[in-house]
Structure 1
């Protein structure tokens, strides 16, 4: 790889955990999750030592009678060496991590204050400069996402949308200004990952890492972020489990109308609403012990249309799978398949003990 360190710079609900997963799919690349802005404390300490050394009478600071006694001995480079060792030992403890070529982490706590009551905004430009000194040969990846999608995701839904949009706009403007003339900075959008655009491939080229479609598909099909797993509902001997995919805005099963037993024909139905930015042709495919079948999907779903009025996929999100016969302990997987035939495991249904499924 071209870099020894990678930092993901972004805000919450931007898809940063998905990007973290994509980067960790690169051999010998280790990108940790967020850490409550731990490095900002190091930056503040570094800034204080810099001010201390610049504002004292160097000659008199060697006298024990001086209020700045010893200030001239402050060593900025030694501070960076010590801070770097501290950080690396936390990100990659020697006893737990034996090998990596590139190390980094993601952080989402960069936005300007929400109100005047909060602490003053950070000096983003100087902070990013500090991070690249703290972690030399460092690539900065600036991740952004459509603001409407952000404000309607997670905890942002509880915030004032106008204030949130303003904060996002200011922050992204600062990132754009900082990026000018810096070859080690790479901006990317959430949609580049979910749609696997040329920009995603360019990211791997930027890092000097091979682009593996197989690995990318595996990462995109996995659950990311701390959002809870979408819960399925069961009745009788039937269990239903829904995975969370970054390509899906909402997915759920209907409650079975009757108690079902092993060997009976199952009717599985529910709703799957794709992310609003997704284009192209998608289908649902069921894989069960008897073979594969394409699930009927795209029937009217008025409840979803009401819940997600701005999502173009919400009006026809209902699916129905008929005639599935499973023995006790057997299961069927449901895959979301795109127009390039990439498969993402969306759900599973089974009869009997879920832990004993075959």
Structure 2
């Protein structure tokens, strides 16, 4: 289903973070935007599509600069269209994993599985920028000590968890600094202390921040 199917669509919101950062709360807060369809995690299924597009670009770049005969090992590489492929993959992903209603104004999801991307982190986000309409990234950070003390992270070596948080927060800050037009970095502690700190984020999205709705979300107890 092509993106044109959603006539009111303003863009795609990606919540980018790590586990136990308060991202489900942020997901709920962004759902307060009128017409927003922001869903939960998918085991970072999008990374597989990124790898597919990456390999297709490699094949086209290396072997697709000219036509090859049918008996050549790279026959048809010249017909690979990376941009069209990326858009098509994003459309399938949207239809099957986000499944927005036709009248959605914002679509998107939150994901916590980015640490294994390592140096491909920025490339992955740039793939999302190319493939999805008006992509916008919301990075969510939380104090490392609190992350390390939460749920499944307590079973991991503490120094490894703290290192992961430090590395990912640095990646978030770097991308947000370089791409202020399509990203914003928020912090769990600030959000729960005063939801009005989300105003700059909502300003970038050109959406109203309903503080009463935000406070109601903050008052709900999460069970996960």
The TM-score with structure 2 as length reference comes to 0.90
Could you say if the C-alpha distance between residues 171 and 214 of structure 1 is closer, same or farther in structure 2, counting changes exceeding 3 Å? Answer: same
Query: Out of 212, 216, 219, which is 2:217 matched to?
Result: 219
Query: Does 1:88 find its partner at 2:85?
Result: no
Alignment deviations for residues 176-216 of structure 1 (CA, whole Å, 9 cap, x no partner):
22222312110000012211254222222221111112211
Give the whole-Å Cα distance in 2 for the aligned partners of 1:3 and 1:141. Answer: 16
Cross-structure match for 1:205: 203
Q: Secondary structure at the match of 2:18?
A: coil
User: What do you get for the CA RMSD once the two structures are aligned?
Assistant: 1.9
CA contact (8 A) 1:5 1:102 kept: yes
Cross-structure match for 2:59: 52
Number of residue pairs aligned between Structure 1 and Structure 2: 216
The TM-score with structure 1 as length reference comes to 0.57
CA contact (8 A) 1:3 1:138 kept: no
Runs of 4+ in 1 over 3 A off after TM superposition: 91-94
Q: Secondary structure at the match of 1:123?
A: helix
Query: Out of 131, 155, 158, which is 2:155 matched to?
Result: 158
Cross-structure match for 2:183: 185
Tell me the CA shift for residue 62 of structure 1.
2.7
CA contact (8 A) 1:40 1:127 kept: yes
Cross-structure match for 1:242: none
**Of the two structures, which has the highest relative contact order with CA contacts closer than 8 Å and spacing of 6 or more?**
2
Give the whole-Å Cα distance in 1 for the aligned partners of 2:71 and 2:221. Answer: 61
CA contact (8 A) 1:7 1:138 kept: yes
Give the whole-Å Cα distance in 2 for the aligned partners of 1:107 and 1:203. Answer: 18
Give the whole-Å Cα distance in 2 for the aligned partners of 1:74 and 1:143. Answer: 36
Tell me the CA shift for residue 136 of structure 1.
2.4
Give the whole-Å Cα distance in 2 for the aligned partners of 1:195 and 1:121. Answer: 32
Tell me the CA shift for residue 57 of structure 1.
6.0
Q: Decide which structure has greater strand share.
A: 1
Q: Secondary structure at the match of 1:54?
A: helix
Q: Decide which structure has greater helix share.
A: 2
CA contact (8 A) 1:2 1:207 kept: no
